Chains A and B, each alone.
Chain A
Amino acid sequence: MTSAETGYNFAYLDEDSKRLIRRALLKAVAVPGYQVPFAGREMPMPYGWGTGGIQVTAALIGPDDVLKVIDQGSDDTTNAVSIRAFFSKTAGVATTTVTGEASIIQTRHRIPERPLKPGQIMVYQVPIPEPLRWLEPGETETRVLHALGEYGLMYVKLYEDISRHGRIATSYDYPVEVFGRYIMSPSPIPRFDNPKLDRSPALHLFGAGREKRIYAVPPYSPVRSLDFEDYPFAVQRWPEVCAICGASDSYLDEVVLDDGGRRLFVCSDSDYCAGRAGKGSPPQ
């Protein structure tokens, strides 16, 4: 086994742990949107830094994979850089920042702007997998609600949003219904990204390390963002375009420039932006 760092198993995680995660992943794919409990392991980083996603990636990854890691759309932030380095070190795999070249994309809270392809796998880092958790704190209760498909609470929450704000104000982690059965948290992606999940050709796997849950959306699965007939689901739009590449179709981050309140908007997806601006990502 050739890994860059000796003394660790391939991709860090031991084979017993990988196997139980793999069995959980197969169940998760068979029951789209259902949260499979798994015996999550301690990883060499704190909860909140992607321990769930890393365990899923470690159970998936092989020598032929090409890994991309993004954090809020960017390949260059601390979390993304260190997870990429973690897997090059422990598994010796190739990494990339180019969406189209990756076989596995681990992500914290964005789906890339470039359409995903069949065969690609998205791995999400999930802080709170239970979409009903803020409405019903008890795990035994939420289990029953999921078992019964009793999701009235969630609609009441969205309705309260409308009565308070005049619209559904939930802007990220916007709940979805998967394959007409389970209500699922898409992880804190902006609701701008929700439509990309619907009938996506890629496989989407979600790992929550602290809460020890794994769930999945198989390719081409119907994923519906919850809404009401008179308040249909809609994504955010900006009057501005990206200040670097001029994109009008991507998710924009607001950057404050000075104390005078000047600001500009740039693409959150750094690969998409660099590609459009003609500065393709450097080969790795």
Chain B
Amino acid sequence: MTERPGLAPGFEDYGLSSQRVFRLALGCLSRPCRALDFEAREGRPAWPLPPVAAALALTLLDSATPVWLSPSWRKAGDWLRFHRGCPVGGQAEKAAFILAASPAELPPLASLNQGSDRYPDSSATVIVASVLPLDGRRPWLAEGPGLDGPVIFEGHGLEAGFLDQWRGNRAAYPRGVDIFLAGEKHLAGLPRSVSLADFSGGDSRCM
């Protein structure tokens, strides 16, 4: 079996695991920019993706959700197709889910499906592998629904240039993409409704 990564097992109990993972994802989007501990007890060594991103993909994907995989994660295509039946390998602009192995492999947010004014829910959702900041080196100020006042968001490995991209995403509200930051053992959400500002630069621009 190990030579056929596409046939690696999925969740042992789909119903219970997907419920648990979904509640975590819902918690992350409704309390944004906060890393929730993700005890990936579902994770298997044979999974072609890191456990948190893999669990989220198994929970949310199916035949209705075309997926785009970043180059380092292309190897997971067969596995996702086998378990979830999702179309894999189309253009990033048309995908419902974008799975990226690192912020560097993420296509420009503006190039992704933004949804329409009448149906902003038809936009893409991004799942990107991230790291918890070791030294809090990129303090951003986050503000929006789900946050009881502004909070410090430490970027989780997102590039400095991401801030401009996110401003563009925020300016298109209610259109725009939503992001899940999937770490080794944590998950954080960045919904389109949240504004980010450079904390150090004294930029107090909010919604």
Interface residues of A (CB under 8 A from B): 1, 9-10, 15-16, 18-20, 22-32, 34, 36-37, 59-63, 143-144, 146-148, 179-182, 199, 201, 203, 216-222
Contacts and interface: CB of A to CB of B under 8 A. Distances in A.
B118 A30 contact: no
Contacts of A203: 26, 30
Interface in B183-204: 191-193
Contact of B15 (A9, A30, A179, A218): A9
Nearest to B31: A219
B118 A143 contact: yes
A56 to B, nearest CB: 11
Interface of B: 13-16, 18-20, 22-23, 25-26, 29-31, 59-60, 62, 64-65, 116-121, 125, 144-149, 173-174, 178, 191-193, 207
A179 B207 CA distance: 10
A284 to B, nearest CB: 22
B207 A61 contact: no
A62 B147 contact: no
A159 B54 CA distance: 53
Contacts of A32: 145, 193
B18 A26 contact: no
B15 A15 contact: yes
28 contacts: A1-B16, A9-B15, A10-B19, A15-B14, A15-B18, A16-B62, A18-B18, A19-B60, A20-B62, A22-B26, A23-B60, A23-B65, A24-B121, A25-B26, A26-B178, A31-B121, A59-B22, A60-B26, A143-B118, A143-B119, A181-B173, A203-B26, A217-B145, A219-B31, A219-B148, A220-B145, A220-B148, A220-B149
A30 B19 contact: no
A179 B193 contact: yes
B29 A1 contact: no
B148 A201 contact: yes
Given A1-B16, A26-B125, A181-B174, A19 B62 contact: yes
Contacts of A179: 144-145, 193
A19 B16 contact: no
A22 to B, nearest CB: 5
Where chain A touches its partner, the secondary structure class is mixed
Contacts of B15: 1, 9-10, 15
B118 A144 contact: yes
A219 B146 contact: yes
B62 A36 contact: no
A201 B30 CA distance: 10
B26 A31 contact: no
B30 A219 contact: yes
Contacts of A180: 207
Contact of A220 (B23, B26, B146): B146
Contacts of A201: 148
Nearest to A216: B30
Given A29-B29, A62-B20, A218-B30, A36 B121 contact: yes
A277 B119 CA distance: 49
B60 A27 contact: no
A29 B28 CA distance: 10
Contacts of A19: 18, 59-60, 62
A114 to B, nearest CB: 19
Given A19-B59, A20-B64, A27-B121, A62 B173 contact: no
Contacts of B174: 31, 34, 181-182
Instruction: Give the most central of A18, A23, A28, A60: most B CB within 10 Å.
Output: A23
A31 B30 contact: no
Give the 10 A-B CB pairs with smallest separation, nearest first.
A30-B191, A147-B117, A27-B121, A221-B145, A218-B146, A218-B145, A62-B19, A218-B30, A220-B148, A30-B178
Contacts of B14: 15
A161 B178 CA distance: 40
Nearest to B84: A19
Contacts of B117: 147-148
A31 B120 contact: yes
